[in-house]
Structure 1
């Protein structure tokens, strides 16, 4: 499950959605377009666009604005090439009651409903509604907010991840949302933990680590500690990488001996974070230790690797380590955390299963990946394979890496038949594949092939009423492929894929 800005304020979520739509293209968007995209009425769109314009004025930026024309609609205007909207998002979120309440829950300075409502000039019932919204969302993560004093309780590692995801999604390292924790001290801790553990992180990853450390300090101050779970022993016992890490960060942590769950979680999070292949030392050494010990985590990773290489596509030798280490990291995440569909930064990768265009592509990828995940669970009985929402997008990324994301899609045969030179036709084929090859399983036929395929691309209007062309979609193109040609071909590819998928399903029933 993923959590969005609507957990703080529904209007804010829609305002930010419209802002992102306007930023996507340098043009006017009509109110009708925005209404259709956001599922809002036109009057609601007008109200939110007006609020967006006013909020940008209150924010006081000289680098960007939203303009509105009665006849044209709304448009985002960037006054500088490198406009950064992050500070504007922070400004919007920090103004909401929901975020103020989250900060109060994090710092555990919530006294009572009446006191909080008085300080924020709202009614008691408004505060209770926001608390109940939090409760409804957190229940899925085995977390609760207590009735009397609004304490965040439940599985502590789940609480840590939730807090980090929410704050990182908003701030992304910009600013410091932890007033009760000295930023310079956390920077000192992060620097020395990385130095002593022999781990190199990018500046962004180091900033993420600082957020983890700050949240951990605040939670421990309020007597919330991560428990060392029984299954973790198999991942840390006889693990030289873990022993090295624990021994070398000892001078900078006060909880190693009394609270082993704290240091284990930090170790695991750094492994997951090391998924970035530029800073992979800790992930690699830990993978080797798990392989040596034949841990359940290694077994899960090997089972997935074997499934892909045997049933989908042979994995190239130069990508073997990348895929093993990445999937090992994914499986560690799903072993540790439950019901999260996003990564540790709160980002959602379901776009790999969808499209930036107007129609969905890869319709069979998600269905077949879910089937693969369920088969892996049946084979191994490991609960980590129950986290389908998380794994399905991560596995899709892996298939994309080995160019196998279209494996489950029906083959669409395309023939290019024009009066243009061969090299121009080959260039057309290359352009079409670059545009659509990652979304559809394309096969290009020779122009002289008696099989006309599923789609015939041509610039010549010859008579084609014979039986041979009955089931062929003929798409007329210009000598130079135009935007209109691409849009028409996109629609034809989508319809063809859909028809073939439906036919395959019918024949298999």
Structure 2
């Protein structure tokens, strides 16, 4: 039995008001108070249940009344996330709170688990994929931890994965990553050039922060895509600043563009 569980659920009241809970205990021969508490807390980890306004209000009202550490950390997360990361649209606030609350409660309950409550693996390479966003979220956790001495905040890998999921419902995960400016130098027709740009953006929008520029007069482009070989000096054609292609793109083009964009991004970081 963890004493803090009594701040999460009012077992005596639930036993009195929910005959199904007593039936459940009788059917499964549960006579230990801590086991019933554990099941009640497990139910609070499932975001699906919070679709019921009655259930949601009941759970959060009790946590708020008991000043549960999990609830207080979640409230602080909402405030700090909006001030340090991005404003949360009003229509997403409820979903944000519920998802963050369930993640925090999961961390408080379980110490060394490699999957979340739904069985999804906890990834550890997000810092490589989105280093700037990862750094900002890591700082957010650090700032919250300064004011709350609670073990759940030490589960950085798990929490940042959940925070990134929430962030992606507002902005692209690449939003804070270095912007790679691309200039398309081509003699292709206008609509074909537009198609080329769309293909590149749609292919890599979840990996890189790409922006096509209309002119490269000042040489500001990070990468030049071109199908006109004679406009470039021979030594530039094979640098990571230039990609020479023949339309339509093939798989090799996409792989080479990805390699060059990744190299440029890493240089900027």
Distance 2:98 2:11 in 1: 20
Do structure 1's residue 397 and structure 2's residue 168 form an aligned pair? no
Residue number in structure 1 paired with 2:38:
265
**1:439 matched to which residue of 2?**
207
Give me the whole-angstrom Cα distance separating, in 2, the residues matched to 1:246 and 1:434. Answer: 51
How many angstroms apart in 1 are the aligned matches of 2:216 and 2:88?
34
Cα distance in 2 for residues equivalent to 1:252 and 1:420 = 70
Q: 1:289 to 1:315 in 2, by over 3 A?
A: same
**Offset at 1:368?**
3.8
1:456 partner SS: strand
Contact map agreement 1:352 1:396 (CA 8 A) in 2: no
- Find the counterpart in structure 2 of residue 302 from structure 1: 75
> How far has the Cα of 1:267 moved from its partner?
1.7
Q: Secondary structure at the match of 2:224?
A: strand
1:456 to 194, 218, 224: 224
Residue in 2 aligned with 1:164? Answer: none
Q: What's the offset of the Cα at 1:292?
A: 4.4
With over 3 angstroms needed to count, the CA separation of the structure-2 counterparts of 1:424 and 1:264, relative to structure 1, is farther
- Aligned residues of 2:185 and 2:226 also touching (Cα < 8 A): yes
CA drift at 1:491: 0.2
Change (3 A) 1:480 1:391: same
Report the CA distance between 1:298 and its aligned residue. 2.1
Alignment deviations for residues 4-49 of structure 1 (CA, whole Å, 9 cap, x no partner): xxxxxxxxxxxxxxxxxxxxxxxxxxxxxxxxxxxxxxxxxxxxxx
Selected match of 2:111 from 324, 330, 338: 338
| Pick aligned residue for 2:246 from 475, 478, 484 | 478
Query: CA offset at residue 245 of structure 1?
Result: 7.7
Residues 84 and 140, structure 2, Cα contact 8 Å, conserved in 1? no
| Secondary structure, counterpart of 2:259 in structure 1 | helix
Rg comparison, structure with higher value: 1
* 1:84 matched residue in structure 2: none
Aligned CA distance change for structure 1 residues 325 and 244 (closer, same or farther; 3 Å): farther
What is the distance in 2 between the residues matched to 1:383 and 1:271? Answer: 19
Alignment of 1:417-428 (within 5 A): 417-428=185-196
RMSD across aligned positions (CA): 3.3
Aligned partner of 2:20 in structure 1 is: 248
- Cα shift at 1:396: 2.2
Pairing of 1:48-67 with structure 2 (within 5 A): none
Decide whether the 8 Å contact of 1:301 with 1:331 is kept in 2: yes
> Aligned-pair distance for 1:343?
0.8
Q: Say whether the 8 Å CA contact 2:240–2:260 is kept in structure 1.
A: no
- Specify whether residues 235 and 442 from structure 1 end up closer, same or farther in structure 2 by C-alpha distance, changes over 3 A only: same
Within 5 Å, which residues of 2 pair with 1:280-295?
280-281=51-52, 284-286=56-58, 288-290=60-62, 292-293=64-65, 294-295=67-68
Gaps of 5+ in 2: none
Render the CA deviation track for 1:79-98: whole Å, top value 9, x for unaligned. Answer: xxxxxxxxxxxxxxxxxxxx
The separation in 1 between residues aligned to 2:156 and 2:240, in whole angstroms, is 38
Q: Distance in 2 between matches of 1:424 and 1:352?
A: 37
1:110-149 to 2 correspondences below 5 Å:
none
Is the 1:403–1:438 Cα contact (8 Å) retained in structure 2?
Answer: no
| Contact 2:167–2:173 under 8 Å retained in 1 | yes
Task: Confirm or deny: 8 A CA contact 2:9 2:41 kept in the other structure.
Answer: no
Contact conserved, 1:396 with 1:405, CA < 8 A, in 2? yes
Query: What is the TM-score normalised by the length of structure 2?
Result: 0.81
Match of 1:210 in 2: none
User: Residue 180 of structure 2 is aligned with which of 397, 400, 412?
Assistant: 412
Give the 3 Å change call, closer, same or farther, for CA 433–259 of structure 1 in structure 2: same
Give, in whole Å, the separation in 2 of the partners of 1:352 and 1:397: 14
**Post-superposition CA distance 1:185-208 (Å, at most 9, x none):** xxxxxxxxxxxxxxxxxxxxxxxx
Moved over 6 A (4+): none
CA distance in 1, matches of 2:136, 2:197: 28
2:171 partner SS: coil
| TM-score computed with the length of structure 1 as normaliser | 0.46
Number of matched residues?
262
**Aligned pair in 2 of structure 1 residues 463, 321: CA closer, same or farther (>3 Å)?**
same
Residue 121 of structure 2 corresponds to residue 353 of structure 1: no
The corresponding residue for 1:323 is: 96
C-alpha separation between the residues in 1 aligned to 2:228 and 2:48? 50
Point out where structure 1 has 5 or more consecutive residues left out of the alignment.
1-226, 355-359, 502-509
